[in-house]
Structure 1
């Protein structure tokens, strides 16, 4: 794999932004790494970070580069600060950045596919919320989305953590129901739309403080008839779990056939 530490100006944010990118490389003599070639533009996973992390965290806490190399998969990891992947009422437009500007810029910089069947999104905690929001809002752009220990119920999250930060992010707490910030509403709308649906994957540890909201979201998605692979297991909100589970996500992705 090739590793890029990419810094660029964002028109959406009005400031310089950052992302880590890993790109497939076929190497015949590299010891301890399996590599793959698919031909054409690279299938791409947008991999999102959590509330207290940044774009470096997946590379620092997991072996995502090694895992992706064997699949011939590009991985784009953007920095979005504590934004909850939303356009703030009185702040930066992080939803516009991650949903519109970032993919366009990444494809202009690198040899990435723009085909729906080649694009996927995943994340943990806040990033799990962002991943589901992207795929449920834009099912025409993403073939699959995965959440690991995600914040699936934003209304519950803001009520459980009163304070100014969530007011900056979402404005009026009572105004989340039925809005584009509400994953439950997005799932309902997609199920009724007749649009092609992305595959969904959801995991949460049974001791995670986000377990109950994850169960509520799982039940809602299944009730609406969306295609969901659900998994759970012992453990809390930790990288020991996420390093293992991201490997499961990569195996689950509907990747195109590869050429070794």
Structure 2
């Protein structure tokens, strides 16, 4: 099926029938008192102003920026056209982990994305401004961020996914500036427990969010993703789970986003049918 999908996309582009537009949207964050860049991809049909659009938010990993997703998966333009969605890639700083830091007021990326960015996107673009038509995913740090934000804010996102996500940060007390965001683990264990995805399953009721977990079996985050999957099974929380050969690589994420965009499209179509 996915080979056919790839062929179909390539065919349309060869005919010049698809032409997504890429913009950089700068948003002034009141919570952090700075301006933040966000890459926004609108489908070719958007120029005709005939529809209101679903939105997929893509979060980058540690060390990345708002351009990282498009660099890793140039096909995003094609997916925007194929599925008629708006794609938003925020700059989450190099190591924000997408939560509000309890020790650094300059790092309030949960507030930024949930309260500032989403409302800005809905005001500026022709979107369907409710959770049933929004989705969020990301790789590595962004995979943690996507599930962290979606678990805590299912009123904002109706669907979510993670690829190679750092869904349990506690085994990595010295990595990726997490201690700078939460304080050293030895001094602030409660903050680490509170801000790690695997401890947030109590926020799920099995009905408020459709989500997918995807991680390669050779990834250093694999064990954490497997444990999250097993915990969700024990609590009878519906979710999709994918594990396949692969590590913490661009190649893995480029393949994952193809599956996840289809997952989100199915969710959006289901939402549309339920509102008829």
TM-score by length of 1: 0.87
5+ residue gaps, structure 2, are 1-19
CA contact (8 A) 1:202 1:230 kept: yes
Displacement after TM superposition at 1:22 (Å): 0.6
* 1:140 and 2:155 are equivalent in the alignment: yes
* 1:205 and 2:216 are equivalent in the alignment: yes
How many residues align structurally?
A: 243
Displacement after TM superposition at 1:220 (Å): 1.0
Greater shift in the superposed pair: 182-191 or 238-247:
182-191
SS at match of 2:87: strand
Q: Relative contact order: is structure 1 or structure 2 higher (C-alpha 8 Å, sep ≥ 6)? A: 1
Higher share in helix = 2
Runs of 4+ residues deviating >4 angstroms? none
For residues 55 and 235 of structure 1, what CA distance do their matches in structure 2 show? Answer: 25
Name 1:248's counterpart in structure 2: 259
Alignment equivalent of 1:94, drawn from 96, 109, 121: 109
TM-score by length of 2: 0.82
CA contact (8 A) 1:43 1:73 kept: yes
State the Cα deviation string for residues 128-155 of structure 1 (Å, max 9, x = none): 0111011111112211100000000022
Alignment equivalent of 2:88, drawn from 76, 86, 89: 76
State the Cα deviation string for residues 166-218 of structure 1 (Å, max 9, x = none): 22211252113652x13223212323xxx842111011111111111111111
Displacement after TM superposition at 1:38 (Å): 10
Displacement after TM superposition at 1:162 (Å): 5.8
SS at match of 2:170: helix
Alignment equivalent of 1:153, drawn from 134, 153, 168: 168
5+ residue gaps, structure 1, are 28-34
Alignment equivalent of 2:181, drawn from 146, 149, 169: 169
CA contact (8 A) 2:169 2:192 kept: no
Alignment equivalent of 2:69, drawn from 58, 73, 78: 58
Name 2:57's counterpart in structure 1: 46
CA 1:177/1:162 → structure 2, altered by over 3 Å: closer, same or farther?
closer
Displacement after TM superposition at 1:114 (Å): 1.0
For residues 38 and 115 of structure 1, what CA distance do their matches in structure 2 show? Answer: 19
Displacement after TM superposition at 1:68 (Å): 2.1
For residues 41 and 157 of structure 1, what CA distance do their matches in structure 2 show? Answer: 42
C-alpha root-mean-square deviation of aligned residues, in Å? 2.2
Alignment equivalent of 1:239, drawn from 250, 258, 262: 250
For residues 114 and 222 of structure 2, what CA distance do their matches in structure 1 show? Answer: 27
SS at match of 1:209: coil
